Chains A and B, each alone.
Chain A
Amino acid sequence: MDQHLVFLLFGLANGAIYAALALTLVVTYRSSGVINFATGGLAALGAYTYAFLRRGELLIPIPGLPKTVDLGSELTFWGAAAISVVITSLFGLVLYLAVFRPLRDVPPVGKAVASIGVMLLLSGLYTVRLGDIGITTEPILPVEPWKIAGANVTSDRVWFAIVILAITIALAASFKFTRFGLLTRAAAESEKGAYVSGIQPDRIAAVNWMISGAVAAVAGILIAPIVPLTPNLFTLLIVPALAAAVIGNFQRLLPAVIAGLAIGMVQSELTYLKGQHDWLPSSGRDEMLVLLLILIVLVVRAKPLPSRGVVVRPALGRAPRPRSILLPTVVGTALGAVGVLTLSGDWLIALISGFIFSVIGLSLVIVTGYAGQISLAQLTLAGVAGFAMGRLIDGGVPFPIAPVLAALIAAAIGVVVGLPALRIRGLPVAVVTLATAVAIEAFWFHNLDFVNVSGQDIDGPTILGIDLSARVGFEYPRKEFAFLCLAVLVIVAVGVAKLRTSRLGSQMLAVRANEKAAAGAGIPVVRVKIIAFAMGAFTAGLGGSMLSYFQANITFITFSVFLGLTVFATTYLAGITSVSGGVLSGVVGAGGLLAIGINEGLGLGGDLYPILSGIGLVTILMTQPEGIVGPFHNWLDARRRAKLADLQAVAVQALEGHLEPQEPVPGGDVVLQTRGVAVRYGGVVAVDGVDLDVREGTIVGLIGPNGAGKTTLLDAMSGFTRSTGTIELHGRDLSSLKPHQRVRAAMGRTFQHTELYEDLSVSENIVVGAAAAQGRDPKTLEETLELLGLSDVAEVPVAELSQGRRQLVSIGRALIGNPRVLLLDEPAGGLDSRESQWLGQRLRTLRDSGVTILLIDHDMHLVLNLCDDIYVLNFGKVIAHGVPAQIRADRTVAEAYLGSTHADQEVVS
């Protein structure tokens, strides 16, 4: 028992380091919505500045200026610490002003990528300015050996933990009890609300970034005496710190800090247990613990990260549909071939490197660009294939088979990597994939049980007697190999382009845009995500195999997690949502043509690429959400629009119609029936026992004041919310079916916010819904377009349509699955009265063609004229039911609407 205590105490040192960094991460996220990968870099700045001040020198990190300035005398602890904290907090302010304020309405993933850019920048800066030598400082906290259970536990680690806890409690208290803290929380919840309340979110954010900087500096200063500072020290520590921050949900300071301490302590305890139990693995133990913790917390909690109440740009840029594949392929291949033929030496090496990393970039286009899953593990998956290939080649597997087989193995691992993404969404997926990458690297690539000491030698490739290897004797790099890489890149690029234009691609984009809506359209979201991860990993695996052939020897260094972060950032920079972006990523990435151009062309010495690419990344993010290829896409779009000018005129035309009053239709048998449906959220009753019958061939209206529970009822019927009571479709009980299964059971549905896939054309948007028609004949695309009057704008991207037509596209998506019942949530939302009428006409046509409709809407005129039967909801209960004439005359309905509004309408209609 004593020994356990001793080892837990030992773990406090590492734990306090993780906790300190986690504290900084959480403070930054709470106030700015940024998961700051550059936290380590900030802590390093504080630590380095402090260390130099203690030697009597002021560190100047700005290139071009002298590295240090002699201050004449060494500073004391308090002096040095105070100045370092101030300098780092000022740097935090600079970061805010220069980087994160301009990126304020960029979505969280963009901000995280910006922080990766800053991380690269700082890391490159320190390496260039400070070299590799570790810098230590004198102990700050008392270092006394405490004898516990016969072992010497130095007191400094306990003090470190206590100090971090104290700082955390102080910070937490000040956020909770001071006005400033309140303002911070307010601005975080709702930026608009803050403005309206007279708060200046800008100023609050600035101060919070300064606080972040200060906390980072304190963390760095306290860490400095424990372990010598090197430029990349903190990047390695970020993953356990992220895990701790995740456990605090990036919101709660104390849980995050305690989690950090706990991680350090448990890792230490595991080391002790390893001594007792041989079966624990000797490599990868600590990293897998971190991963396990993240997984358990995230998957069990399954809550999204709190997001800022800001209107953000769409999560990722457009993913334009390639108009033709042939021309770009020919042009691209020709360019590549010219490059191969004309370049040699270092430049050809850079070109080949670029081809290979473009393949890996394309894997990111599939997983992140199309399917919207942020994966930071792609390079590691490439490594899986690389190492697998080493074994396969050892076992005699010949050329084209070995890399493909290796890529398949990578695909299998990729599926495993992607499993957590089934349960969580958004930026936490990034954290999980990062932790997974680190764990794989530690457990496999570092593990002597699986890899060789000097790496794995790779020969070849040769095919049909032709030697395609990168080097033969002193011939290097060989054009044959370069052409092979070009060929692989072309095949992969064409494949990804084809994916984009395929139904699977549309489904991926649908999942990316809105998972709920995708499920509502009958898309099997889980399957699509898994396929995306598998295809992404396979592609990365191909890249990894080519990289192995190129280097002729595989070690973990080639596939390091740090490099993987860089690959993600440069692909985002180039344009992660399109094939052209993926291809460009190799050119602008580390070791590519741009890098060599900078380092050799500018002739400034040293490795400037990380610094310049960090700056470039941040700049691009500010101006082009789609990356470097953004302007190119805009140009293509403009050209296309010019061609579609005529169609354009039609597309944006407002629609006018007139809905003739008609006798309500009695309808046939009951198609959809609810009995006693209730929905409770905690103590709140949103729907309180609703009985409802929808008869075949009718349009049923569901109306009521705001908050009456209409959408919730629809959610319950379509399976997006848990409910009690029964819901039957044609006598079939739906309660055990998931949403996409209900859709397939012939219940179609649209949503209040139309959630169309902006990049896709009208046809593509509609076709996505065809998956719902399992077991039934789907309507054809032509039929659906006809019914809704959309035939003339079939190929126009929905982004360019008028609101009325957009609503119809949304309906079309639900309609193509040939549903028996169509649930429409505010189909007339955003339409003026004439367009409303026109919509009503179309809905009537639909009904007459045999589709049963249940709709919610606020347009009373439309509802009273269109519907054959109306239910009125208030406070979750049905307060009235009948044909329009009855509802018009019903007092209780008028009262429910607070009289005036409805009374007006009553007079008019």
Chain B
Amino acid sequence: MKQVANRRGRMAAIALVSVATLALASCASSDSDGGGDGSGETKETTDLGEKNPATGDPVRIGVAAEEADDARLTGYRATTEYINEYLGGLNGHPIELVECATKNTPAGGTACGVQFGQEDVAAVLAPNIGVSLSVYKPLEDSGIPFITQLTADIDVLGSDESFVLFNPLGLGSATIAVAKDEGVESAAFVMPDLPSTTGPVKELAEPQYESAGLELEIVPIPLQVADPTAAIQQAINDGAGQLVFFGETEFVTTGIKTAKQLGFDGPLITQVSGFPEDQIASIPGGLEGVIVLGSTTLDESDDDRKLYNTVIETFADGAPTDDIFTTAAFQVELALYHALALTPDAGADAASVMDALQNMDRPVPLPLGGGMTFQCGADVIAVLPGVCVATTLRSNLDAEGNATSEEVLTAADAG
């Protein structure tokens, strides 16, 4: 296993992580009828094309959820049916899902990792799992590919047997790109006072800002402080040119609202991609001018979005399409399909899947990525062999939270 020799380098390259999955608990849950992007209109769909059923030997893929039947599983199940019926499976092999719910406890996460191993799955998909490190540990050095997105765990990022479909450096580089674009020289990062949120910013973004010659202030908000006005005003007093909000949807909504009430007119940036309608309504001026940095397109007219809507509508019986967990499940599973398509022999077992992922010979479009690509095993980020994505998607929002324009930010944009 290729280990990163330079531990300091790895430490310096820890990615964004949210407060476990809660940080991504934006957008309506399956209970609400709200539109995650606020549009509330009927979603555009597309034609799924000719059926192409998979006929080979089934291959088991492990998928992690937090509760039985949660929104993640909705996404996986629908995507799996689509792949098996219309895309011919993974290089001909129909996917058989092995589902496990972590109950969001470390013991539960470990149990899932162990279960995946015992069932000898060919790959594990575990984005948006609060205890994903507990799921990963049993699988470390087991030869089973571990695929995820947001993570701060060095072990995952530094391993060439795990595959992170997200750019962990984006917290620094993408916000720096925005700063340069908008002519801003200092940023304040506002997040809940928890190691999982303050850590990545300190370890990662700070050094990048230093090299870029920009200032960065970390503004942690204690959990028992509901209203962050004082802290944000203090940050503005200290000269912050842009504010980056990093946390759960509710936290970010409150932060954006406060910043606008204080009359701050610099860029407001966040990683949250879906806001419930009523939260948008509570912000003066709505989400006008807010910049989302992530890896999922918010453009409803995007072809991938139409495909996604269709898949969910067809195979998930009217489940909401704006749940980010469902979206991420679709994104990651379809990405696996496209990655393996580069190696037609792969797909029957963990070894071949691992090999295929470790040797992607060219970048592949990231589903729902709005133009982003991914390429695993290619050292897209030098110090982090596990990372497959080196770009970040910038979405500019209007008042209702729709994306008016998007662009893919690369490392070059950070200067």
Binding site for B on A (CB under 8 A): 3, 6-7, 10-11, 13-14, 17, 51, 55, 67, 130-139, 143, 145, 151-152, 154, 157, 223, 225-228, 230, 233, 236-237, 239-240, 267-268, 271-272, 274-275, 282-287, 290, 345-346, 349, 353, 438, 442, 445-448, 451-455, 470-471, 473-477, 550-553, 555-558, 591, 605-607
**Residues in B whose Cβ lies below 8 Å from that of A225:** 282
B351 lies within 8 A of chain A by Cβ? no
Scan B252-296; emit 1 where CB is below 8 A from any A CB, else 0.
Answer: 011000000111000000000000101101101000000000000
Contact status of A152 and B202, CB under 8 A, knowing A134-B253, A223-B226, A474-B114: no
Q: Name the interface residues of B89-131: CB closer than 8 Å to any CB of A.
A: 103, 105-108, 110-111, 114, 117-118
For residue B139, which residue of chain A has the nearest CB?
A: A474
**Residues in B whose Cβ lies below 8 Å from that of A237:** 224, 226
Q: Is the CB of B195 within 8 A of A453?
A: yes
Q: Is the CB of B193 within 8 A of A552?
A: no
Q: Name the interface residues of B231-260: CB closer than 8 Å to any CB of A.
A: 231, 233-234, 237-238, 248-250, 253-254
A-B CB contact pairs (8 Å), 6 listed: A14-B227, A134-B253, A137-B278, A239-B224, A453-B152, A454-B154
Q: Is the CB of A438 within 8 A of B22?
A: no
**Residues in A whose Cβ lies below 8 Å from that of B153:** 454
Contact status of A133 and B234, CB under 8 A, knowing A448-B199, A474-B117: no
Interface size on B, residues (CB 8 A): 68
**Residues in A whose Cβ lies below 8 Å from that of B234:** 7, 271-272, 274-275
B412 lies within 8 A of chain A by Cβ? no
**Once bound together, how far apart are the Cα atoms of A438 and B223, in whole Å?**
10
**A191 CB to nearest chain B CB (Å):** 36
Contact status of A476 and B193, CB under 8 A, knowing A136-B279, A227-B227: no
**Residues in A whose Cβ lies below 8 Å from that of B230:** 7, 10-11, 267-268, 271-272
**Residues in A whose Cβ lies below 8 Å from that of B278:** 51, 55, 135-137
**A169 CB to nearest chain B CB (Å):** 24
Scan B121-152; emit 1 where CB is below 8 A from any A CB, else 0.
Answer: 00000000000011001100010000000001
For residue A14, which residue of chain B has the nearest CB?
A: B227
Q: Is the CB of B261 within 8 A of A154?
A: yes
For residue B279, which residue of chain A has the nearest CB?
A: A136
Scan B46-68; emit 1 where CB is below 8 A from any A CB, else 0.
Answer: 00000000000000000000011
**A477 CB to nearest chain B CB (Å):** 8
Pairs of residues from A and B, 5 with the lowest C-beta to C-beta distance, nearest first = A453-B199, A134-B250, A268-B230, A228-B250, A13-B227
**Residues in B whose Cβ lies below 8 Å from that of A3:** 237
**Residues in B whose Cβ lies below 8 Å from that of A17:** 226-227
**Residues in B whose Cβ lies below 8 Å from that of A346:** 111
Q: Is the CB of B152 within 8 A of A454?
A: yes
Q: Name the interface residues of B188-210: CB closer than 8 Å to any CB of A.
A: 193-196, 198-200, 202-203
B352 lies within 8 A of chain A by Cβ? no
Q: Is the CB of B282 within 8 A of A556?
A: no
**Once bound together, how far apart are the Cα atoms of A588 and B248, in whole Å?**
32
A454: contacting residue among B133, B262, B279, CB under 8 A: B133
Q: Is the CB of B31 within 8 A of A233?
A: no
B39 lies within 8 A of chain A by Cβ? no
Binding site for A on B (CB under 8 A): 14, 17, 20, 22, 25, 28-29, 31-32, 67-69, 103, 105-108, 110-111, 114, 117-118, 133-134, 137-138, 142, 152-154, 193-196, 198-200, 202-203, 218, 220, 222-227, 229-231, 233-234, 237-238, 248-250, 253-254, 261-263, 276, 278-279, 281-282, 284
Contacts A267-B230, A287-B224 known; 19 new A-B pairs at CB < 8 A? A6-B233, A14-B227, A133-B31, A133-B276, A134-B253, A136-B278, A136-B279, A136-B281, A138-B281, A226-B227, A227-B227, A271-B234, A349-B111, A438-B224, A453-B152, A471-B138, A474-B138, A551-B107, A591-B107
**Once bound together, how far apart are the Cα atoms of A606 and B30, in whole Å?**
14
Q: Is the CB of A551 within 8 A of B222?
A: no
**Residues in B whose Cβ lies below 8 Å from that of A557:** 20
Interface core residue of A151, A271, A606 (most chain B CB under 10 Å): A271
**Residues in A whose Cβ lies below 8 Å from that of B203:** 453
**Residues in B whose Cβ lies below 8 Å from that of A143:** 261, 284
For residue B141, which residue of chain A has the nearest CB?
A: A473
A133: contacting residue among B29, B194, B218, B220, CB under 8 A: B29
**Once bound together, how far apart are the Cα atoms of A474 and B143, in whole Å?**
13
B262: contacting residue among A132, A151, A446, CB under 8 A: A151
B229: contacting residue among A10, A67, A438, CB under 8 A: A10
Q: Is the CB of A452 within 8 A of B227?
A: no
Contact status of A132 and B138, CB under 8 A, knowing A228-B254, A271-B234, A283-B220: no
**B403 CB to nearest chain A CB (Å):** 21
Q: Is the CB of A131 within 8 A of B31?
A: yes
Interface core residue of A138, A227, A285, A607 (most chain B CB under 10 Å): A227
A132: contacting residue among B22, B202, B223, B284, CB under 8 A: B22
**Once bound together, how far apart are the Cα atoms of A14 and B231, in whole Å?**
12
For residue A447, which residue of chain B has the nearest CB?
A: B195
**Once bound together, how far apart are the Cα atoms of A477 and B105, in whole Å?**
14
Q: Is the CB of A553 within 8 A of B134?
A: yes
A228: contacting residue among B117, B195, B253, CB under 8 A: B253
Contact status of A157 and B227, CB under 8 A, knowing A271-B234, A455-B133, A591-B105: yes
**Once bound together, how far apart are the Cα atoms of A230 and B247, in whole Å?**
14
**Once bound together, how far apart are the Cα atoms of A271 and B138, in whole Å?**
43
Contact status of A136 and B253, CB under 8 A, knowing A131-B31, A268-B230: yes
**Residues in B whose Cβ lies below 8 Å from that of A6:** 233
Contact status of A134 and B133, CB under 8 A, knowing A286-B224, A349-B111, A471-B138: no
**Once bound together, how far apart are the Cα atoms of A681 and B101, in whole Å?**
66
**Once bound together, how far apart are the Cα atoms of A452 and B203, in whole Å?**
11
**Residues in A whose Cβ lies below 8 Å from that of B263:** 145, 152
**B404 CB to nearest chain A CB (Å):** 24
**B228 CB to nearest chain A CB (Å):** 9
Q: Is the CB of B254 within 8 A of A227?
A: yes
**Residues in A whose Cβ lies below 8 Å from that of B20:** 557
Contact status of A152 and B227, CB under 8 A, knowing A225-B282, A553-B133: no
Interface core residue of B195, B203, B249 (most chain A CB under 10 Å): B195
**Residues in B whose Cβ lies below 8 Å from that of A271:** 230-231, 234
For residue A268, which residue of chain B has the nearest CB?
A: B230
For residue A232, which residue of chain B has the nearest CB?
A: B223
**B328 CB to nearest chain A CB (Å):** 16
Interface core residue of B28, B106, B154, B231 (most chain A CB under 10 Å): B106
**Residues in B whose Cβ lies below 8 Å from that of A455:** 133, 195
**Once bound together, how far apart are the Cα atoms of A607 and B195, in whole Å?**
27
Contact status of A137 and B222, CB under 8 A, knowing A152-B261, A551-B134, A553-B133: no
Q: Is the CB of A133 within 8 A of B32?
A: yes
Q: Is the CB of B117 within 8 A of A283?
A: no
Interface core residue of B108, B142, B234 (most chain A CB under 10 Å): B234
**Residues in B whose Cβ lies below 8 Å from that of A274:** 234
For residue A134, which residue of chain B has the nearest CB?
A: B250
**Residues in B whose Cβ lies below 8 Å from that of A558:** 106
**Residues in B whose Cβ lies below 8 Å from that of A438:** 224
**Once bound together, how far apart are the Cα atoms of A139 and B68, in whole Å?**
37
**Once bound together, how far apart are the Cα atoms of A455 and B196, in whole Å?**
9
**Residues in B whose Cβ lies below 8 Å from that of A236:** 223-224
**Residues in A whose Cβ lies below 8 Å from that of B248:** 134
Q: Is the CB of A132 within 8 A of B220?
A: no
Contact status of A145 and B261, CB under 8 A, knowing A132-B22, A227-B226, A271-B230: yes
**Once bound together, how far apart are the Cα atoms of A838 and B229, in whole Å?**
76
**Residues in A whose Cβ lies below 8 Å from that of B238:** 275
**A568 CB to nearest chain B CB (Å):** 19
**Once bound together, how far apart are the Cα atoms of A455 and B195, in whole Å?**
8
Q: Is the CB of B118 within 8 A of A446?
A: no
For residue A228, which residue of chain B has the nearest CB?
A: B250
**Once bound together, how far apart are the Cα atoms of A151 and B194, in whole Å?**
29
**Once bound together, how far apart are the Cα atoms of A705 and B116, in whole Å?**
83
Q: Is the CB of B195 within 8 A of A446?
A: yes
Q: Is the CB of A133 within 8 A of B25?
A: yes
